[in-house]
Chain A
Amino acid sequence: MSFEPKIVGILCNWCSYAGADLAGISRKKYTPNVRVVRVMCSGRVDPTFVLKAFESGADGVLICGCHPGECHYAEGNYKAARRIPLLKKMLSQLGIEDERVRLEWVSASEGDRFASIVDEMTEQIRRLGPFSRNGGGENG
């Protein structure tokens, strides 16, 4: 059986969740590998959420927020824009591939864009293989 990646999508309420919704009501076809969690703002995405997703069996985490300058709360997405790259640098030191965590800006009108991001990320993670959390090594 081929490997189907599990991707946790954490989407902001005001832009990206509406964008994903638009992809749906436009009958846009895209891979069903993303499980969407709605948060009020991408600035609410604690880096712990990303680790928690991996710990719970996710193979990738997609975080989407409003485009810079368009945040419903003025600057929440800028916080995400700083947190996620720093988190990714830390995760790379822990052997987690760059493609497994992705931050994207998706507006409420960008249903097509959301669908193509999910398609692309699914394909990238399919190539990487499962996250298979090797927590403890042979003794742990």
Chain B
Amino acid sequence: MAKPKIALYWAASCGGCDVAVLDTNEKLLDIANIADIVFWPIALDFKYHHLEAMEDGSVDLCLFNGAIRSSEQERIARLLRAKSKVMVAFGACACFGGIPALANFTNRDEIFERAYVEAPSNANANGTFPQTLTKVSEGELELPELFDTVLTLAQVIDVEYFVPGCPPPVDIILKVVDLFATGQLPPVGAIIASDKTLCDECDRTKEEKKITKFYRPHEIIPDPKKCLLEQGIICCGPATRGGCGLRCIQANMPCRGCFGPPPGVVDQGAKLVSALASIYQGDSEAEIARMVEEVLDPAGTFYRFGLADSMLKRKRLQQPQTEGIK
């Protein structure tokens, strides 16, 4: 029997998810033993035309990391979808938009303005911006188009499974491969991680949560045994799925939310607003105003990895108001 075929791809991502696959160390050889890796741009020399030449449905498992924010990424996502039997959104960016989705606080024009005009390192006297099509004497040059809005993988194509994390931890990667190899993949749509919140799995001492001041991580040295939230550090644990192995918590850093919302939570940011405001001590207007000020960047903190997948998805694009005005 022929070995199953695996494809890996990166879209709008940093490469960390691919490195996490390499972090399986000698287990990677086991993966190579049970399956043929037929496409993996970061590690192996395959081209898009190799992928196009494959038969539809001939790839058994595709681990797709990164969000979708350009026409090239969208095209390859659709291509891989056609070629693959099982599509896995691999890592926080593919699942929820991840760090790249923080670009949803802005738009393409503002990004170009910043990157090609305002940034101090620029020498762009002619005001050149990237063009999707450029005519030169030898012919036409093409560049992928950058989107205004960063999308999750599932907003572009159908996805069978979700593996969250920035990056997914090695034990979960091996679990996915094992489930795949033994034919025990869960029902379609499953998120392969814990079904509990991070707080539920956290081993720090937890007492009653009463906060009188929020600190940013660099402002205090936290007690490594005690709940970080109780010490006033904004920790996304109450509204984040567990299964990460408490990587940040063990480094004495608060949870940043890369595993996305736990079961039953639609919007991670809204739930964090609810959780943090509830435990803050102070009922007077002055105390409430102080709390609001202490949470410096609520949207950036609570949607650090999840803006593309949140209910609002992006900052509203202000369109000229034509209808509805008297």
Contacts and interface: CB of A to CB of B under 8 A. Distances in A.
A83 B315 contact: no
A133 B316 contact: yes
A32 to B, nearest CB: 17
Interface string A52-88: 1011000000000000100000010011011101110
B318 interface: yes
B270 A46 contact: yes
A22 interface: no
Interface stretch (A13-21, A23-31, A92-100, A113-121): A92-100
A52 to B, nearest CB: 7
Given A85-B288, A95-B318, A140-B151, A135 B278 contact: no
Most chain A beta carbons < 10 A, residue from B74, B151, B292, B310:
B292
Interface string A126-140: 100110111111111
Contact of A137 (B148, B266, B270, B302): B148
Given A50-B270, A137-B107, A94 B283 contact: no
Contact of B317 (A85, A89, A134): A134
B316 A86 contact: no
Contact of A86 (B149, B282, B295): B295
Contacts of B270: 46-48, 50-51, 87
Q: Is the interface of A mostly helix, strand, loop or mixed?
A: helix
Contacts of B311: 48, 51-52, 54-55
Contacts of B107: 137
Contacts of B310: 51
B314 A137 contact: yes
What's the interface size class on A, roughly?
A: 35 or more
B271 A86 contact: no
A42 B253 CA distance: 33
Nearest to B319: A134
B155 interface: yes
B297 interface: yes
Contacts of B277: 79, 82-83, 86-87
Nearest to A78: B283
Interface string B283-326: 10000110110010111101000000011111111110101111
A137 B147 contact: yes
Contacts of B325: 3, 129
A90 interface: yes
A140 B149 contact: yes
A90 B324 contact: no
Given A82-B278, A139-B147, A140-B149, A95 B271 contact: no
Contacts of B326: 2-3, 126
A47 B274 contact: yes
A137 B105 CA distance: 12
B273 interface: yes
A108 B274 CA distance: 26
B230 interface: no
Given A86-B295, A136-B155, 15 more contacts: A46-B274, A47-B271, A48-B274, A52-B266, A55-B312, A86-B276, A86-B291, A87-B277, A90-B302, A129-B321, A129-B324, A136-B151, A136-B314, A137-B314, A140-B148
Interface of B: 74, 105, 107, 147-149, 151, 155, 266-267, 269-271, 273-274, 276-278, 280, 282-283, 288-289, 291-292, 295, 297-300, 302, 310-319, 321, 323-326
